[in-house]
Amino acid sequence: MNNPMYDEFAREYDSAIQNNSYNAHYERPSLLSLLPEVNEKTVIDLGCGPGLYSKFLVENGAKVTAVDGSQEMIQIVKEKLGDQIDCYVQNLADGLPNEQDQTFDVAVCPLMIHYLEDFTKLFTDIKRILKPDGIFIFSTHHPFVDYQLSPSGNYFLTEKIVDEWDTVGRPVRVEYYRRPLTSIIQAIVDAGMYVITLTEGEPASHMQESSPESYQKLSTEPGFLFLKCKVVS
């Protein structure tokens, strides 16, 4: 098992993120605003979790491959999408050894890369499996936010963070990596891609009424970082 952490609360996570503030009304709309037209395109969903992005992609006419390190997440995706999708378990720290060169039009990777201490291999493989004009979009923790939890106080280090979240309605111990913004951008460039768009996202305006505290917070400080990248041709 590559990421037992998510196996433990996969089904709770699935129901929690259907309609919550941070995922449903901030992260997904912000990342999807960077998604190109996917009808009849080949799209790979990396760190697919319980398949909310995969479902959206299938419904919008894409031919989707979904990959996650958690057996339980992949089981959920199979239950939801069955043979409408290809999906399998893969530790993405090892890249994408099962995928052929220049196969996909688009790669999406929402909220996953911060679980990898080193995503050099993954980014190199994303570039390899994308077609020459391929697009890679991803979201991750905003480096300035994670820096507040830095054990060393040195922004320029990559460090493991042990944290506790209540996303699923009870405290859950999580581990991930924080790193400076430079490392993220450098990994994109080293892999042979370039950044088209970088945003810090926007909470949906209806959160003003449904979740005023989260709306206020996300309107005055960043939560995640959203990037759209293109293969250097």
Structure tokens at 80: 């939801």
**Interface segment toward ligand SAM; rule CB under 6 A; list 62-70, 144-152, 180-188, 201-209:** 62-70
Q: Say which residues have a Cβ less than 8 Å from residue 100's Cβ, sequence separation at least 6.
A: 129
d(CA 72, CA 62): 24
Q: Which is nearer to ligand SAM, 49 or 134 (CB)?
A: 49
Count of residues in contact with ligand SAM, rule CB under 6 A? 21
Q: 141 in helix, strand or coil?
A: strand
Q: Binding to ligand SAM by residue 73, rule CB under 6 A?
A: yes
Q: Which of residues 69, 95, 201, 223 is near ligand SAM by CB under 6 A?
A: 69
At its nearest, how many Å lie between ligand SAM and the CB of residue 153? Answer: 26
Q: Binding to ligand SAM by residue 223, rule CB under 6 A?
A: no
Q: Binding to ligand SAM by residue 66, rule CB under 6 A?
A: no
Q: Which is nearer to ligand SAM, 111 or 193 (CB)?
A: 111
Phi/psi of residue 114, nearest 5 degrees: -70, -5
d(CA 84, CA 88): 13
Q: Which is nearer to ligand SAM, 113 or 207 (CB)?
A: 113
At its nearest, how many Å lie between ligand SAM and the CB of residue 233? Answer: 27
**Interface segment toward ligand SAM; rule CB under 6 A; list 1-9, 95-103, 140-148, 191-199:** 1-9
Q: Which is nearer to ligand SAM, 71 or 103 (CB)?
A: 71
Torsion of CA 96, 159, 31, 187, to 10 degrees: -50
Q: Which strands form 224-231's sheet, in the order they lie side by side?
A: 86-89, 63-68, 42-46, 104-110, 130-141, 224-231, 193-199
Closest CA to 69 of 5, 158, 149: 5
Q: Which of residues 104, 115, 224, 226 is near ligand SAM by CB under 6 A?
A: 115
Q: Which of residues 16, 35, 92, 218 is near ligand SAM by CB under 6 A?
A: 92
Residues 8-47 close enough to bind ligand SAM by CB under 6 A = 17, 47
d(CA 128, CA 46): 14
d(CA 224, CA 143): 8
Q: By the criterion CB under 6 A, which residues form the site for ligand SAM?
A: 2-3, 6, 17, 47-49, 52-53, 68-70, 73, 91-93, 110-112, 115-116
